Amino acid sequence: MSELSVVERLYFGRDDAERDFADGLLRTGFKETAAYNAVVSGRKMLVIGRKGVGKSAICVRLALAGVHPGGTALITPDDTAGEEIRQFELTGLTGDHAKSLMWRYVFALRAAQYLVRHAAEHSGRTPASIKTLRSFLKANQELIGEDRTSNGFGQWLQGLSGSLSLEAFGVKAAADFTQTPTEGARAAHRLKILEDGVRLGFVELGCAPAHTLLLLVDQLEQVWSADLESNSLIIGLLLAARHIGSQYGNALKCALFLRSDIYDSLSFGEGDKFRSDELRIDWTESDLADLALRRAKASVDPGLTARQLWGGIFPRTVQGRHTPSYLLSRTLPRPRDVIQYLNECQSTAIGNGHHDLIHESDILVATRRFSEWKLKDLVQEYLIAHPFLERLFPLFQNTGYLVTRAALRCRVELTRDTLRREFPAYAEALTLDGIVRTLYEVGFLGVRRGNGIVYAGVPLLPVQPHEDEFHLHPCFREALGATSAAGIATYDRVVVDSIQAQTVSGNVDFTVRGATRVSRGYVLLERLQRACRAILDQTARSDGLPDEIRTEIATEVRRILDDTERAPHAEPPVAEDRIVLAAASYFNTAADRLRRDGLEGGDGPDGLSSHLREQSTRLVRAVGGGVGSSGES
């Protein structure tokens, strides 16, 4: 079997942390970020980030033997237990506090199981508290099991509600609970007995603080449904995690991994007490480039350099931009997107028969496919919180990626009634301001602030009422056909090629090209040149025009100028009036788009759109005038 080529060996890993760990790249290609180190050190316990930023990667990494100086226990409630734990209630307690007891109970059970197992590693006499915990677990074997981490929640909750045997702790009869009349009070009493027993076990075993147990709670989005019960479930978890410090000291710690859209939707009185525990995962372009290099090294060669990756395996540039800059600007700033995009570039290259290096053409094909994936993935990511999201995308299809508030208002008004009919429960979110806010928060739209475009990645200032210029994120532009700033049809130089082809075939009559005809053609081209220069000057002086629109129009006008300069020397000859009419059509189309979408910041008689329309009209008149006519009459 022949040795695999460098492109065939290249691999950036799996989409999810669990399989990525199994393949080995999470071990060898893992990047120890500041966020990761803050969790390992115990400085932060609340890891927040949107889907795909690496929360589970940190969680899986922490669960590896030897990473954390102590034991770990992973708690991942799956969707089969979702309804049961969301609906858990205890009379006499609010929903938040009932859920808090539930989580404290789960933590205490996992800690008890860990202590009994870990005590076997200690030599000498087993402490009495550990024997008590062993007896407790044995007495409740059918109820709580030994190894349940997720789907045992339902049975565990039965114990908190009343069927848990506490005889190992000296509680032998219901009479012990006669002073606790409500269900919530009785559950709190049972829980206190269990927690006191676990705390004593930690003390008598004497491992802390050098050897602590770290509880890892992940994948809570599996049981979250954007309702009050789901919010209580998460709030209860936060309260329970904070309780651990006061109950067990340094013997037991907890790390929670929460999606940012879930955490940011919560509202409760004690929310301000978690600020110092919060850790927001935020990836920079340089961090992601380093991650890509690490993973390429893991699959190709440990000695691979950035220059070899971005200039040897990948092309050095794509459409004039340095390749990593081109690629990373077209992903949301998270590892999962980068992994998927780069793997698709590699796969496309192999499919195109390119085994020694990835070509620019491979990347362009992969870019379109990746953009389509991400548009679909965005819908799925926010399906629960924003079920109407997919219906908003047509507002941006086949238009410019730059959109003003005025233009978006017109588009929303055309679809508002339909959207509200289909999603009556979300009527407040389907206003112009609500749509802008949602699309900004999910990363679909960015907003111009100062000289840059800000896309939401970490909590930032929300879109303000005075902000009226928005940009579609580059990640989604290819899928929506919004690859230019204004979305204006370009000046089509194919018109010239078409005329040349017709000339060769004899379909256009240039047999009579006397002095008058040539003179008129030159006059038309000179008039078009003057119009182009005047438009370039007006474009440069238009203060309210976004830079992207200014650049796009100026580029097209210079292409027209180039045609006017080449036309007199073209072989076979070209029809000057066709060039002029094609340019006039472009000017008119650009004027309509600028005015309709409010892209020039004003629509006065001195605005660029008025100037474009005026020049278009003059050029059309000039082409239609008689021989020697000025075209002004």
The pLDDT tens digits for 254-295 are 999 999 989 988 988 888 888 889 999 888 899 999 999 999
pLDDT in tens, 401-438: 999 999 999 999 999 999 999 999 999 899 999 999 99
Q: Which of 146-155, 160-169, 195-204 has the lowest mean pLDDT?
A: 146-155
Give 215's strand partners.
73, 254
Q: What does the pLDDT read at residue 602? A: 60
How far, rounded to the nearest angstrom, does the alpha carbon of residue 604 sit from its chain's CA centroid? 39
Question: Beta-strand (E) ranges in 191-349?
Answer: 212-217, 252-259, 278-280, 317-318, 321-322
pLDDT of 516:
42
> How far apart are the C-alpha atoms of 62 and 70, rounded to whole Å?
10
Both tokens of 95, joined, read 């929903």
Q: What is the mean pLDDT of residues 194-216?
A: 90
pLDDT reading at 626 higher than 50: no
In this predicted structure, the answer to whether residue 513 has a pLDDT above a threshold of 50 is no
For the segment 478-500, the average pLDDT, to the nearest whole number, is: 73
Q: Which residue, among 346, 358, 360, 343, has the nearest Cα to 308 in the 3D structure?
A: 358
CA dist., res. 292 & res. 285, Å (int): 11
Kindly indicate the confidence band of residue 176, based on its pLDDT and cuts at 50, 70 and 90. low
Q: What percent of the chain has pLDDT over 90?
A: 52
What whole-number distance in Å separates Cα of residue 94 and Cα of residue 268?
A: 12
Mean pLDDT of the chain: 85
pLDDT of 459: 53
Res 27: pLDDT: 65
Residue 370 pLDDT > 60? yes
Q: Which range scores top for mean pLDDT: 73-87, 223-237, 456-470, 496-510?
A: 223-237
Q: pLDDT at position 487, please?
A: 85
| Antiparallel, parallel or unpaired: β 252-259 and 46-49 | parallel
Nearest to 86 by CA among 183, 163, 154, 155: 154
Give the range among 394-398, 525-529, 599-603, 613-617 with minimum mean pLDDT: 599-603
The pLDDT assigned to 79 comes to 58
CA distance 158 to 12: 45
In this structure, of 113-122, 161-170, 171-180, the range with the lowest mean pLDDT score is: 171-180
In this predicted model, which residue has the larger pLDDT, 373 or 627?
A: 373
**CA-CA distance, 187 to 366, in Å (whole number)?**
56
Reported as a pLDDT band with limits 50, 70 and 90, residue 85 is: confident
Distance, CA of 208 to CA of 71 (rounded, Å) = 11
pLDDT in tens, 111-140: 999 999 999 888 888 999 999 999 999 988
The lowest-confidence range among 216-230, 356-370, 466-480, 558-572 is 558-572
For residue 458, pLDDT over 60 is answered with no
Per-residue pLDDT at 155: 64
- Alpha-carbon distance of 545 to 594, in angstroms, equals 9
Question: Which residue did the predictor score with more confidence, 351 or 572?
Answer: 351
What type of residue sits at position 296?
A
- Who contacts 210 (Cβ-Cβ below 8 Å, separation ≥6)? 69, 70
What is the distance between the alpha carbons of residues 609 and 615, in angstroms, rounded to a whole number?
A: 10
d(CA 535, CA 541): 10
3-class secondary structure, 471: strand
Query: How many residues in total does the chain contain?
Result: 633
pLDDT (tens digit per residue) in 559-577: 999 988 888 777 667 788 8
pLDDT of residue 80 exceeding 80: no
Give the pLDDT score at 151. Answer: 45
Q: Tell me the Cα Rg of the chain.
A: 33
* Residue 517: pLDDT band with limits 50, 70, 90: very low
Q: What pTM, to 2 d.p., does this model score? A: 0.82
Tell me which of 161-170, 300-309, 454-463 is least confident: 454-463
Residue 601's pLDDT is 64
Q: Pick the closest to residue 382 from 231, 472, 260 (CA basis).
A: 260
Residue 29: the pLDDT is 67
Give the pLDDT confidence of 589-619 residue by residue, as tens digits.
999 988 888 888 665 667 899 999 999 999 9
pLDDT greater than 90 at residue 68: no
